Amino acid sequence: MRKKTFRLGAALLAGIFIISAAGCSKNESKAAKETNTELVVGEAVDFASYDTMGSLDGQGFAHYTKMVYEPLVDYENGEPVPLLAESWENDGNTWTFYLREGVTFTDGTAFNAEAVKLNIEMLKEHMADMITYYGGVSRITAINIIDDYTVSFEYDEPYYAVLQDLSSSAFGMLSPALFADGNVPYGNVNTATAGTGSYILDPEDCTVGMSYTLTKNEEYYNETTGPEQFTVKIITDADSRMMALKSGEIDFLYGSYQITYDMFDYLAEVEGVNAEQSETVYATRNLLLNTASEILNDVNVRKAMEYGINKEQINDTILHGLEEPADTLFPITIEYCDVEQTIYEYDPELAAQLLDEAGWNETNEQGIRVKDGIPLSLEVIYMSERTADEQILMAFKGQMEEIGIEIVITGYETNTWFEKGLMGKFDISVNDTYGFPADPQVFVAAMLDYGLDYPAQQGLSQKSEIDRQISAMLSTADVTVIRQAYEYVFTTLQDEAVNIPIANKKELAIYNSDKVKSVYFADEAAYCDISKIVMK
């Protein structure tokens, strides 16, 4: 892991402990500050909801959900490990889980097999559309309570990624009390929380839109090294987040979604600040080309863009040489993704030739190619909260102009971006893969009818076969069938130039080195596990 360490001078040390009023809990104490038991965390995106489903968008609270609501299993170093389930076994279409005994939810309700059954049933009843592509949950056909601490899930067909899906933060267990009197605690929830996790989120300790304080669960069954409490302070502007950490207003920033490499390198040079990069590759930065778009329906135009992008330049400049240029949609280190595929090496001359062959062989005064009087202009959309994406798109825009393609960049708030994407109202979109544990199976499953990939693939003659192969992969435990399905999907999308992989994304953390001794990079992408931070 990449790490930079600097010592804090005495004068600066006094200032860096000053925490703004908006980011402080009502329970903050002088003693806590003196013993480094509190932490202030910067966050780019507000908490939309205090539940597992409201955080399924991967924003805000999603980065901290597992510390409040724990799933049955977790992953460490790519292997499943016990969480609320101490062990499990698989017998064909049945998975049996042996649950941890003596655990209570933070409202005092007992955790047991009944609680697991209720959670799964409520998800399937009320959130079916949201969990469709997590087959480990959506494909459960029966839930059997064997005893108080043993539960089994039955499936009509085998599914290979059960443990991966169940480890997602989306499937943390909620207290049965939250479902009382017909209540459905999913979606826009800013009231009571009750999980089994290492921290408690009390709405009374929150100022919506500004700050959210989580306090250590004193009844938690495992030892943790994190602070007694931490406050997540919402700072939507990237420069403001950077200056807040430099000044000591916040102590910790996590996640490549909100940390640019300019910010990373700048803060690494500040006294008293450590900047670390994970060794693990989590996901792929990529651009999705809409094959149903009037211009991008032509595969030669799509291939021209593949050859026209200089990934090395983007990596060396925007990403400061700290990521790895990507040639394929998923890193080949992920299971089933080590598939031989077409590689598009940077070749602007070949890109120009392909555009000529596609009929875009005239240019206007601005140097943009023209066909039948229409300029070769394409709009790319992205989530406006993601500053690093904007920087990458600016570099991409310049490179496309060199081969005569105009790129118009438009940022949207996350929900708006997603809505436009689902309707296919885009030429190009930033469309990073999800990362472990959802890659590749959940990302690929969403290509069937949910997510931006579905409308983007509508211009392909192979779309029906892509869907058939994905469906086959999701309904078998036969490794040969699974591998063949992935191979077909990956090679087809690559040959048709549907995705432009840019870089294999790593995670980033920046922190006050006087408070924090070390940080932890979890297996799940973007999960900010404060409980495993080691405090000084």
Q: Which two tokens stand for residue 489?
A: 């999907």
- For 50-59, 130-139, 526-535, which range has the lowest pLDDT when averaged over its residues? 50-59
Q: Tell me the pLDDT band of 474, cut-offs 50, 70 and 90.
A: confident
Domain of residue 82, CATH code:
3.40.190.10
C-alpha–C-alpha distance, residues 410 and 428, integer Å: 10
Q: Does 220 share its domain with 343?
A: no
Cross-strand pairs, 370: 362, 375
Q: Does 449 share its domain with 302?
A: yes
Q: Does 166 share its domain with 220?
A: no
C-alpha–C-alpha distance, residues 165 and 434, integer Å: 12
Q: Is residue 500 within 8 Å of 287, Cβ to Cβ? A: yes
Please report the pLDDT score of residue 245 as a whole number: 97
Closest by CA position to 83, among listed 160, 142, 168: 168
Q: Would residue 62 count as lying in a domain?
A: no
What is the arithmetic mean of pLDDT over 150-166? 94
248: helix, strand or coil: coil
What is the arithmetic mean of pLDDT over 328-354? 95
C-alpha–C-alpha distance, residues 176 and 26, integer Å: 28
Q: Does 422 share its domain with 531?
A: no
**Boundary-marking domain end, from 157, 181, 205:** 181
Mean pLDDT, the chain, rounded, equals 91
Percentage above 70 pLDDT, the chain: 93
Please report the pLDDT score of residue 58 as a whole number: 65
CB atoms near residue 147 (< 10 Å): 10
Q: Would residue 65 count as lying in a domain?
A: no
What is the arithmetic mean of pLDDT over 32-57? 80
Q: What is the largest CA-CA distance in the chain?
A: 76
Q: Is residue 204 within 8 Å of 218, Cβ to Cβ? A: no
Q: Does 219 share its domain with 360?
A: no
**Boundary-marking domain end, from 136, 151, 181:** 181
The half-sphere exposure of 342 on its side-chain side, counting CA atoms within 13 A, is: 18
Closest by CA position to 59, among listed 74, 80, 43, 72: 43
Q: Which two tokens stand for residue 295?
A: 């211009």
Q: Does 519 share its domain with 394?
A: no
Q: What is the pLDDT of residues 243-288, one digit of tens each?
A: 999 999 999 999 998 999 999 999 999 999 999 999 989 999 999 9
Q: Would residue 187 count as lying in a domain?
A: no
Report DSSP state, residue 20. Answer: -
Instruction: Give CA torsion, residues 449, 450, 454, 456, to 10 deg.
Output: 150
Q: Would residue 467 count as lying in a domain?
A: yes
Q: Would residue 407 count as lying in a domain?
A: yes
CB atoms near residue 100 (< 10 Å): 20
Q: Is residue 309 within 8 Å of 533, Cβ to Cβ? A: no
Q: Would residue 68 count as lying in a domain?
A: no
Range of the domain at 418: 282-505
Label residues 495-507 b or e (16+ Cβ within 10 Å = b).
Answer: ebbbbbbbbbbbb
Q: Which two tokens stand for residue 444?
A: 């690929």
Q: Does 456 share its domain with 496?
A: yes
**Boundary-marking domain end, from 156, 181, 206:** 181
How distant, in Å, are the alpha carbons of 14, 83, 236, 319, 461 from that of 71?
40, 7, 29, 34, 40
Strands 79-82 and 73-76, sheet pairing:
antiparallel
Q: Tell me the pLDDT band of 200, cut-offs 50, 70 and 90.
A: very high
C-alpha–C-alpha distance, residues 286 and 503, integer Å: 7
Q: What is the pLDDT of residues 394-425, one digit of tens each?
A: 999 999 999 999 999 999 988 899 999 999 99
Q: Would residue 60 count as lying in a domain?
A: no
Please report the pLDDT score of residue 294 as a whole number: 95
Q: Tell me the pLDDT band of 56, cut-offs 50, 70 and 90.
A: low
Q: Does 379 share its domain with 486?
A: yes
What is the arithmetic mean of pLDDT over 97-112? 98
Q: Would residue 55 count as lying in a domain?
A: no
Q: Tell me the pLDDT band of 83, cut-offs 50, 70 and 90.
A: very high
Q: Does 334 share its domain with 410?
A: yes
Q: Does 212 share its domain with 120?
A: no
The CA-based angle 345-349-351, given to 5 degrees, is 65
How distant, in Å, are the alpha carbons of 247, 261, 325, 433, 505 from that of 283?
31, 17, 12, 5, 5
C-alpha–C-alpha distance, residues 172 and 451, integer Å: 23
Q: Which two tokens stand for residue 187?
A: 């979606």
Please report the pLDDT score of residue 513 as a whole number: 96
C-alpha–C-alpha distance, residues 389 and 393, integer Å: 6
Residue keyed to tokens 């192979």: 462
Q: Does 387 share its domain with 494?
A: yes
- For the chain, the domain total comes to 3
Q: Does 518 share its domain with 501?
A: no
Domain of residue 452, CATH code:
3.10.105.10
Please report the pLDDT score of residue 54 as a whole number: 74
Q: Tell me the pLDDT band of 526, cut-offs 50, 70 and 90.
A: confident
Please report the pLDDT score of residue 415 as a whole number: 83
What is the arithmetic mean of pLDDT over 492-510? 96
Evaluate if residue 21 carries a pLDDT over 80: no
What is the arithmetic mean of pLDDT over 506-520? 96
Please report the pLDDT score of residue 366 as a whole number: 95
Please report the pLDDT score of residue 16 as a whole number: 30
